[in-house]
Amino acid sequence: MDFGKVLTRAGEIIWKHKVLWIFGILTGCGAQSSSFNFNTGSGNYGGPSGGQPIDPNMPFVLPPEFERTFSNPDSQVALLIILGVFCFILLLGLLFFVLGVYGRLGMIEGTRRAESGDEITFNSIHTALMPNLGRALGLNLIIGLAFLAVGIVFAIIAVFGTAFTFGLGLICLIPLACLLVPAMWFLSVIIEQANVALVLEELPIADALRRGWEITRANLGESIGMGLILIIGGAVVGFIVSIPMLFVLAPMMMGMMGFASGSDAAGWGGIGIALLCIVAYMPVLLLVNGIVQGYIKSAWTLTFVALRDKAALLPPEPPVSELPAA
């Protein structure tokens, strides 16, 4: 596979067909990092027995402090607000997930149309990708839940290993954590190929994952090379684009110093300037990130096609009976 040809062609497609920028921006919605924090706590609640084991036949009764908390109207309002904010964040994350998958499919379909000479408009791409949207959502949801499960298991092992070994277990987990980084990168390559296979070859979820693994395994060096180029290159460009956001820290720090010195005017002035800078730069950040994400997805689509065509051109392996005798 010609890396230079693939990367150059992806740039030509994303620059010529600017309607794909919209799908690139939507792809960026699903590419944003998200974190899940699970906090666990333990406590001993002494009953009438003064800390002795509780009788299993005893009816469950909330501790007095919990009853006072839940009976307080102010506490009830605060809990409802917290629950509402949590539900809003959850729905927002779900919306970003759907938009991200939709944008990814749009980039794959747009790249396919650019290579085949078909019409490239928002409506034509939207119409073509909709039959694949449900399967793509299922594919990426399964992958996301699998990654989440692995993260939770790793966190549980880290917490209990650290607690029971007085910190020695955490040291032993460091090599495992270092191995997880390249493993995740390699899995991301398979996932990219699986998404392209799902659209271009109209495969169901399981077959798309199998096809992504087959393409990656058959072209291991080229797949890893393209993955390193796109992943590292995208991270570097993203860092460069986000550098102007660091200048927002200056007025924000001035605002904090103003509050610390007792000057509310200086404090709110610094915070206001920081917010204005964020609002002014956000459209630029979204646009550039959309172009970068669109370029990356277009390059992955072209990579899949190139590797698939390369495998198709290879001569079939002869049957065992036709192999020359040793």
pLDDT of residue 104: 92
Q: Rounded to two decimals, what is the model's pTM?
A: 0.72
CB neighbours of residue 125 within 10 Å: 25
Q: What's the CA angle centered on 224, arms 223 and 228, to 5 degrees?
A: 120
Helix (H, G, I), strand (E, B) or coil at 15: helix
Amino acid sitting at position 76: Q
Distance CA 195, CA 129 (A): 12
Give the pLDDT of residue 50.
Answer: 41
Predicted pLDDT at 326: 47
CA distance 203 to 116: 20
Buried b (16+ CB within 10 A) or exposed e, 184-220: eeebebbbbbbbbbbbbeebebeebbebbbbbbeebe
Residues in the chain: 326
What's the confidence (pLDDT) of residue 149? 87
pLDDT in tens, the chain (326 residues): 788 898 999 999 999 998 999 998 998 877 653 333 333 343 443 444 444 444 445 554 545 555 555 556 656 677 788 888 889 888 988 899 999 999 999 999 999 999 888 888 999 999 999 999 999 999 999 988 888 888 888 778 777 766 676 666 667 677 777 787 888 888 889 999 999 999 998 889 999 999 999 999 888 889 899 989 998 888 898 888 888 877 777 777 777 777 677 776 777 777 788 788 888 888 888 888 889 999 999 999 999 999 887 766 555 555 545 555 54
Secondary structure of residue 121 in the 3-state scheme: coil
Round to whole Å and give the CA distance between 179 and 181.
5
> What distance in Å separates the CA atoms of residue 110 and residue 15, rounded to the nearest whole number?
12
Task: Output the pLDDT for position 39.
Answer: 38
Residue 102 has a pLDDT of 92
pLDDT of residue 165: 67
Q: 6: closest CA among 312, 311, 314, 297?
A: 297
Tally the C-alpha atoms within 13 A of residue 227's C-alpha that lie toward its C-beta: 19
Helix (H) or strand (E) holding 280: helix 264-313
Q: Is 10 exposed, middle or buried (0-12, 13-18, 19+ CB in 10 A)?
A: buried
